[in-house]
Amino acid sequence: MQAIVDFIRELYKTQEFIPLHEPKFIGNEKKYLNECIDSTFVSSVGVFVNRFEEEFAKYIGSKYAVAVVNGTAALHISLLLADVQEEDEVLTQPLTFIATCNAISYCGAKPIFVDVDLDTLGMSPKSLESFLEKNCEIQNHQCINKATKNIIRACVPMHTFGHPCKIDAIQKICEKWHIVLVEDAAESLGSFYKDKHTGTFGKLGAFSFNGNKIITSGGGGVIVTDDEHLAKKAKHLTTTAKLPHPYEYTHDMIGYNYRMPNLNAALLVAQMEKLEQFLASKRKLTEEYANFFAQFDDIEFIREPKEAHSNYWLQAVMLQNNEEREAFLQYLNKHNVMTRPIWRLMSELEMFADCQKTDLSNAEYLQERVVNLPSSVRV
C-alpha cells in the first residue's frame, strides 16, 4: 500500500496531510466579497443572489433556480413543494448521505429504501419497479402502499459521488405510478446523463455547495425547477413566507428562513467562473488514478456509468471485501492521506431501522467495499 500513498503524494506534490476534498478559491472570490460588503447588502437580498440564480439555471438548463442556505434545506423545500405531508412515504436509496433522509423526516414522512445498481451506485430502476409492482396500487391517481395504506408521494434518487443514476428510467416509473420525482443532485454539478444535466429530470432538483463540494460558498444550496409556480412558491417559503410590503410584516403560511445570503452568493458567482476548469482538473485526475490502479487485480477504480458524463466529485475504488477495505482505510489514513468509506446504509441507522425496504444486496455489497480517495482540484 505504500506505493498507493507515494502515488497520491506525487499527484498532490506534498508530503503533508492530504485532505479528501478541499475548496479552491483562485478567481474573483475576494473581489466579489468586497463588492458585496461595500454594497452593505450582505444578507438574503442582493445582486449576487440574483446573478447566481440566473447563471446557475442557465448552466444546468433549468428555467428557474432558487438559492438557499444549504443542500438539506433545498431538499426539504423541494419535498414540501412536491406536497409531501405527514404520514406520507418517500422512496429513496439506502446508500446516500444522511441529508436525504433527514429532509424526508422534516416533512413528517417516512423513507422506503430500494436497492442501488452496482454500475451507477445510485437507485436501481429495476428494484424500484419491483417494489411498486409487489406492494402498491393506484387509487384516485395516487400511489398507495398496500401494507401501510399510506400515500407514496415522492421518489428521491441521489447521484452518488456525481455519477448519474439511470434517472430517465426512474422518471418513467414515477410518472406511471403518479409519484413526484425529486432529484438529490447535491453531488453532481457538472454531471450529465444522456446529454441532460442531473437535477433537471424531476419536477424539482436540489444541489449543495457545502465546503467539500466541487464549487462552494462554505454552505449553500439551490432548488431548480421548470415550473414557474413552484419556483415562486420556493422563494416565498424560503423567505419566511412574508408578503411583499414596504414595511409591514405579514406572513401567510409557515415559512422558513432558508434564503442564501448575498455574501455566499458572491463566492458562488466567482466559483461558477472556474467550474469548467475544476471539472477539467477532475477528469485529468480520474485518468491518472485509473491508469495507476489498472495494475492491481484486487482494486477496481470506479468509472462513470454508460451514457453518463460524471463530474467525478469524489474519486472512488472498490476493494475485494470488508477486511481489505478496512486495511486500506487504516493504512492510508495512518500515513496522512485521507480516505473515507462510503456511508453506512441509512436502513441500518437506528432512526430508520423500521422503515420498509427491498432486498438491498447491492447496497450492502458496496458498503463493505467502496472507499473515496483524495479528490481535490489541482490548480
pLDDT per position as a tens digit, 98-119: 999 999 999 999 999 999 999 9
Cα 58 to Cα 289: distance, rounded to the nearest angstrom: 32
Question: For the segment 215-269, what is each residue's pLDDT rounded down to a tens digit?
Answer: 999 999 999 999 999 999 999 999 999 999 989 999 999 999 999 999 999 999 9
Of 211, 167, 159, 185, the C-alpha closest to 74 is 185
Residue 117, pLDDT score: 98
Distance separating alpha carbons of residues 322 and 55, to the nearest angstrom:
43
Query: Confidence class of residue 59 from pLDDT cuts 50, 70 and 90?
Result: very high
Identical fold between 2-22+275-344+368-372 and 29-273: no
What angle is formed at CA 205 by the lines to CA 225 and CA 366, rounded to 5 degrees? 160
7, 9, 11, 14 alpha-carbon torsion, rounded to 10°: -160
Residues with Cβ < 8 Å from 13, sequence gap 6 or more?
none
Residue appearing with cell numbers 401567510: 252
pLDDT digits (tens, 9 = 90+) for 341-377: 999 999 999 999 999 999 999 999 999 999 999 999 9
Residues of the chain with pLDDT > 70, as a percent, come to 100
Counting beta carbons within 10 angstroms of the beta carbon of residue 3, is it exposed (0 to 12), middle (13 to 18) or buried (19 or more)?
exposed
Number of residues in the chain = 379
* Distance in angstroms (rounded) separating the CA atoms of residues 111 and 115: 13
| Class of domain 29-273 (CATH, top level) | alpha beta
Contacts of 46 (CB under 8 A, 6+ apart): 36, 39, 262, 265, 266
Q: Is the pTM of this model over 0.95?
A: yes
Q: Give the per-residue pLDDT at 124.
A: 98
With contact defined as beta carbons under 8 Å apart, do 371 and 328 qualify?
Answer: yes
Q: State what percent of residues in the chain have pLDDT above 90.
A: 99
Q: Is residue 222 within 8 Å of 206, Cβ to Cβ?
A: yes
**SS3 state at 18:** strand
- Return d(Cα 186, Cα 224) in angstroms, integer: 12
C-alpha cell at 348: 441500518
pLDDT at 45: 87
Going by the DSSP 8-state scheme, the letter that residue 162 receives in this structure is G
Mapped onto helix, strand or coil, the DSSP state of residue 30 is helix
Contact yes or no for 260/207 (Cβ under 8 A): no
For strands 89-92 and 370-372, give the pairing: unpaired
Cell digits for 235? 422563494
Rounded Cα gap, residues 376 and 26, in angstroms: 13
Residue type, 109: A
Instruction: Indicate whether 207 pLDDT > 90.
Output: yes
In the chain, where are the structural domains located?
A: 2-22+275-344+368-372, 29-273
Q: Which residues fall within 8 angstroms of residue 362, CB to CB, at 6 or more apart?
A: 115, 116, 117, 118, 124
Q: How high is the pLDDT of residue 354?
A: 96
pLDDT digits (tens, 9 = 90+) for 269-321: 999 999 999 999 999 999 999 999 999 999 999 999 999 999 999 999 999 99
Contact 230, 81 (CB under 8 A): yes
Report the pLDDT value the prediction gives residue 44, as an integer from 0 to 100.
Answer: 87
Query: DSSP 3-state assignment of 6?
Result: helix
What's the mean pLDDT when you consider all of the chain?
97
Interval 138-174: pLDDT, tens: 999 999 999 999 999 999 999 999 999 999 999 999 9
184: its cell numbers: 438529490
Q: Where are the alpha helices (DSSP H) in the chain?
A: 2-12, 29-39, 47-60, 71-81, 98-106, 125-135, 167-176, 228-237, 262-273, 275-293, 322-334, 361-367
Residue 35 has a pLDDT of 97
Q: At which residue does the C-alpha cell 387509487 appear? A: 139
**Structure confidence at residue 175 as a pLDDT band (50, 70, 90):** very high
Report which of 88, 177, 181, 90 is spatially closest to residue 129, judged by C-alpha positions: 177
CA distance 118 to 103: 25
Architecture of domain 2-22+275-344+368-372: Alpha-Beta Complex (3.90)
